[in-house]
Amino acid sequence: MSRALDGRVAVVTGGGKGLGRAFALHLAESGAAVVVNNRNREVDENGLGPADHVVAEIVARGGRAVANHDDVADPAIGERLVADALEHFGRLDILVTSAAVSAPQMAHKTSAESFRQVMDINVTGTVLPAAAAMAHMRQAGSGRVVLIASTAGLHGETTVSAYAASKGAVIAFGRTAAVEGAGKNVLTNVVLPYATTQMTEAGMDARHADRMRSDLVAPLVTALASPDSTINGQVIVAAGSALRAADAVEWATVGYDADQPFEPAALEQLLTQSRAGDPHTFTHAQNAFQSLAADLAASAHP
């Protein structure tokens, strides 16, 4: 019996543990050959790291997979991952970027070293693999990219300012990539999962831990990776067996007199008035600008 991803090839960064492992296993179960990326920060007595163990799981179940041990913070990571996919499996159809670090630190205590590490892994380690994969996919005429971010990038989160900033950057990058790739059938979506993983288990409420298993998010990622999917530019919050569509929203346009004193109380009132209007979403920033410009023109010429 054919499977949804038979004949397809996927790369999963951070695929050795947690969410990345769940994604790699589910993609393989759905028929994809998988390049499992995870740097070897720790190895067992046989010198095998997390990616090697996931590959062994996939192969034991009759699938195809190879390990890649490159650090996603390495500037050459994108080209290496694409090269591995082509060398071992002859093509690349899917990229899932799951590698990330948290490095908790309050905003006023953020150090340059800590901030740089988070950005190198979470942002550069997402953008460069995506850029290299999309360049290949555009030439091939098809591809699916799923970027893993976090609701911290939407709403902010205390004690992880660098992490929140990095995940906000991933969301913005993903929306941009979706617009750029649409005409070439290279579709990009961003998933914001809640899951009990090595990164989150210390802060996860025990009441929710079992319901937040990584494997429950994996089918969503596989669906987005399907060649039959036409979903593009979506930001999706996922946890357990549930999801929420998410978006950036702008409310109603309200004017003010720039020649008059602008007191905080007046600003607060205007913000309340704006939020009382209809919410608007936009495909990209130029659409948002054109909408605001039209409102300004209308108010100037009733």
Cβ-Cβ contacts under 8 Å for 262 (sequence gap 6 or more): 256
What's the 3-state SS for 27-73?
HHHCCCEEEEECCCCCCCCCCCCHHHHHHHHHHHCCCCEEEECCCCC
Show which residues are catalytic: 163
C-alpha to C-alpha distance for 31 and 292, rounded to whole angstroms: 46
Cβ pair 125, 13 in contact under 8 A: yes
C-alpha to C-alpha distance for 222 and 142, rounded to whole angstroms: 16
Count CB neighbours of 147 within 10 A: 26
Give the CA angle between residues 57, 63, 69 to the nearest 5°: 60
Cβ pair 85, 9 in contact under 8 A: yes
Cβ pair 67, 51 in contact under 8 A: yes
Number of H helices, E strands in the chain: 10, 8
The enclosing H or E element of 148 equals strand 143-148
